[in-house]
Amino acid sequence: MNTQNTMAFSNLTDMVEFILLGFSDLPSLQGILFGIFLVIYLSILIGNGLILVITKVDPALQTPMYFFLGNFSFLEICYTSVTLPRMLMNLWTQKRNISLLACAVQLGFLLILGGTECLLLGVMAYDRYVAICKPLNYPLIMNHKVCVQLVLASWVGGVPVQIGQTYQIFSLPFCGSNKLNHVFCDIHPLFKVACGDISLNEFSVYADAVLFAMVPFLLILGSYFKIISTILKLPSATGRSKAFSTCSSHLIVVALFFGSAIIMNLRPKSTHTEGKDKILALFYTIVTPMFNPLIYSLRNKDVIAAMKKIFQI
């Protein structure tokens, strides 16, 4: 028993870095991929940055809905900045090594910000529920103090749990290959190079997913069930159309984010392939944040009007 413990400790201390293989199997496309991801990252920064600015400076957008949208745009910038800069560096330098500490920090922030996104999307659904189902009480219920408290709870609510989750994963002994066939440090690739029994860790990951992803998702579904029921009872077709338009952007974002995340994390192990895992991981960490500004701006007259003011169109 002592020998096994010594070997496990030795493996853990010897593993000082990982190698993120990323797209190393496509050597002729490294430059093209760098260009594509650079354009995506810049569009995320510019698009979400613009949404963040106009929700802060335009007097017409000083409402709870746009307060949450501004926070969501800032979150998307942070979320993608955890993974994309290192991906770009790896593609540019062709050096794919990442230290154990840097990998743990990346995974920790990814889990924290991912949990924050789930909670914030739930808060945004609750805001739409109150606005449509309880319009007379909306200013009282969603006052500025409550909005700030809901945003703070979304940002910090999952921090202790996600830090504990990260610590638990990196307390595992890693042995054998130090190559992670993924584009960033993620849970499933790390489990593949971990030694010993990881069943407890897997249970912890699923429990974490239920708490910070499935529960908010179910609350969002419940909110929209009541919202749609209320909208359908409106006597005016114009009123129904206007009410639907205030919710459609949020629904599309929810479908994109939760849809890809659920497929990624809840599908059977037998269907997992490294190529599919990379694509799905990129989808919910990069593609969705890229489309969010387009979804909210193209489908929102207030946002379009605010942009026209800024650019004096």
Segment 219-244, tens digit of pLDDT: 999 999 999 898 888 877 777 777 77
Task: For residue 9, give the CATH number of its domain.
Answer: 1.20.1070.10
Please, are residues 201 and 169 in contact by the beta-carbon 8 Å criterion? yes
pLDDT at 36: 92
Mean pLDDT of 146-153: 96
Which tens digit of pLDDT belongs to each residue from 30-45?
889 999 999 999 999 9
pLDDT value at 313 more than 80: no
Between the CA of residue 252 and those of 13, 148, 225, 245, 277, what are the distances in Å?
45, 24, 15, 11, 22
User: In the prediction, which pLDDT does 169 show?
Assistant: 92
| Measured torsion, CA atoms of residues 119, 265, 81, 85, in degrees rounded to the nearest 10 | 180
In the chain, the number of structural domains is: 1
Q: What phi and psi, each to the nearest 5 degrees, are found at residue 18?
A: -115, 165
Indicate whether 275 pLDDT > 80: no
Please count the other Cβ atoms lying within 10 Å of the Cβ belonging to residue 209.
Answer: 19
User: Could you report the per-residue pLDDT of 193-210, keeping only the tens digit for each?
Assistant: 888 888 888 899 888 888
Radius of gyration of the chain (CA): 22
Residue corresponding to tokens 């957008």: 61
d(CA 217, CA 234): 26
Instruction: Identify the band that residue 3 occupies on the pLDDT scale cut at 50, 70 and 90.
Output: very low
Model confidence at 168: pLDDT above 80: yes
Output the pLDDT for position 7: 45
Is residue 231 within 8 Å of 240, Cβ to Cβ? yes
Quick check: 77 and 45 in contact, CB under 8 A? yes
Q: pLDDT category, 287, cuts 50, 70, 90? A: confident
CB-based burial label for 281 (10 Å; 0-12, 13-18, 19+): buried
pLDDT at 10: 44
Q: Which domain holds residue 33?
A: 2-311
CA–CA gap between residue 35 and residue 31 (Å, rounded): 6
105 pLDDT more than 90: yes
Residue 14's pLDDT band, with cuts at 50, 70 and 90, is low
How many percent of the chain have pLDDT more than 90?
A: 40
Three-state SS letters, the chain: CHHHHHHHHHHHHHCCEEEECCCCCCHHHHHHHHHHHHHHHHHHHHHHHHHHHHHHHCHHHCCHHHHHHHHHHHHHHHHHHCCHHHHHHHHHHCCCEEEHHHHHHHHHHHHHHHHHHHHHHHHHHHHHHHHHHCHHHHHHHCCHHHHHHHHHHHHHCCHHHHHHHHHHHHCCCECCCCEECCCCCCHHHHHHCECCCCHHHHHHHHHHHHHHHHHHHHHHHHHHHHHHHHHHCCCCHHHHHHHHHHHHHHHHHHHHHHHHHHHHHHCCHHHCCHHHHHHHHHHHHHHHHHHHHHHHHHCCHHHHHHHHHHHCC
Q: Which of 236, 283, 234 is nearest to 262 (CA)?
A: 283
Q: What confidence tens digit (pLDDT) does each residue in 68-95 have?
A: 999 999 999 999 999 999 999 988 988 8
Q: Given this model, what pLDDT does residue 304 score?
A: 78
Which sign, positive or negative, has the C-alpha torsion 197, 203, 209, 211?
negative
Cβ atoms of 242 and 110 within 8 Å: the answer is: no
pLDDT band (50, 70, 90) for residue 9: very low
151 or 282: which leads in pLDDT: 151
On average, the pLDDT of the chain sits at: 85
